[in-house]
Amino acid sequence: MNKAFSNLTNFFQHVIDEQLQIGQLHDESNLVSTMLDMINKPTKLSSFKITSDHLIPMMSDVVLAGVNAGTVTMIWIMIELTRHPKVMKKLQEEIRTTLGSNKERITEEDVQKVEYLNLVIKETFRLHPPSPLLLSRETMSDIEIQGYHIPKNTHIKINTYTIGRDPKCWTNPDEFNPERFSNTSINYKGQHYELLPFGAGRRSCPGMNLGITILELGLLNILYFFDWSLPNGMNIEDIDMEEDEDSNVTKTLELVPTLL
């Protein structure tokens, strides 16, 4: 673990040094350039100043949160696609038709072209949020919620896993149906409280954008270039859908890729 984090720290330092050589971006900023610009400048909290010591821990939070959410969700998507061959076929056909038959490399520009992929991702986030319990919030005053008295300074956890399967919010909530997100503005970025895989507000997951990018590019690559099947002797009914008991609902599945 020490070796892994040492390598990660060295990588972050390389990114920082590279950003210092490039200088401030003119058209758009990123986390590194923004924090470099904020170092040693006054903040609203007079007792707190951002220093270079804050930069690598913040980068680590973003990268680790993003990688975890992306990889966990990618596995769940492949599980659900394997359990629902019609959805798998529809998604792969749309990807290959939209991107063409001679694609050598998938880019971020390709992600925006495949609309059905976004529906599949939303539906997977609904059923299998990468973190079933959001980071706890602390009440700022005594409040009452549905007849329950909640004292000030109480830590509250939001069960986004249960919200995503609430029959009051969703029709047939246990069914994997990406089409439910057709013609709706519901997204996973914190504006719609019936779908909160990354939380909402100032305490939402800092790695959300990175995680989504990893997820979209990873899925486009493995679904464009490969067909997938279960190992010999294994049927769809044999797939174990029990979630691991952890702060992150993880899963494993063995599939056989066939290169097109």
Annotated binding site for heme: 205
> Encoding tokens for residue 77?
């998507």
Whether 218 and 70 have beta carbons less than 8 Å apart is answered as yes
CA distance linking residue 94 with residue 116, whole number of Å: 7
Q: Give the SS3 label for residue 58.
A: helix
Residue 177: alpha-carbon gap to chain centroid: 19
Whether 196 and 129 have beta carbons less than 8 Å apart is answered as yes
DSSP string covering 174-225? TS--GGGGTT----SSSS-TT--TT--GGGS-TTHHHHHHHHHHHHHHHHHH
Q: Please work out, in degrees rounded to the nearest 5, the angle formed at the alpha carbon of residue 114 by the alpha carbons of 113 and 117.
A: 150
> Encoding tokens for residue 138?
């602390």
| Strands 256-259 and 137-138, bridge-based pairing | unpaired
> Encoding tokens for residue 86?
């019609």
- Known binding positions: 205
To which residue do tokens 């609904």 refer? 126
